Amino acid sequence: MAVYVDDAIWTFAGRRWCHLLADSEEELHRFAARLGITRQSYQGPPKTAAPHYDLTGFERDRAIRLGALAVTSDEILAVYRRVKRPGEKLRRQVV
């Protein structure tokens, strides 16, 4: 199983952000805990179609050092589609 992060390209609250996704929800939560990210930061159904965490650019760098795979926006979208829950719609995020 793998954990993925895309480029920190969207800005919110003065910071640049990215997404952390994994092949399984269990792996996602384990990896987030290793990063020190609390479960309160988790985003998943029904709020979003796929389980993920939003990370700052700083957290992204740490995630890569811990073994997350840096991927392009097209690659993270492919992961998102693969792990999204059945029946949930893919929601475009307005940046």
Q: What average pLDDT is seen over the chain?
A: 88
Is the distance from CB of 22 to CB of 3 less than 8 angstroms?
A: yes
1 confidence band (pLDDT: 50, 70, 90): confident
What is the mean pLDDT of the segment spanning 18-38? 95
Which pLDDT band holds residue 94 (cuts at 50, 70, 90)?
Answer: very low
Mean pLDDT computed over 42-52 = 88
Give all strands (DSSP E) within 1-95, no chain letters.
Answer: 3-5, 10-12, 15-22, 42-43, 52-56, 69-70
pTM: 0.83
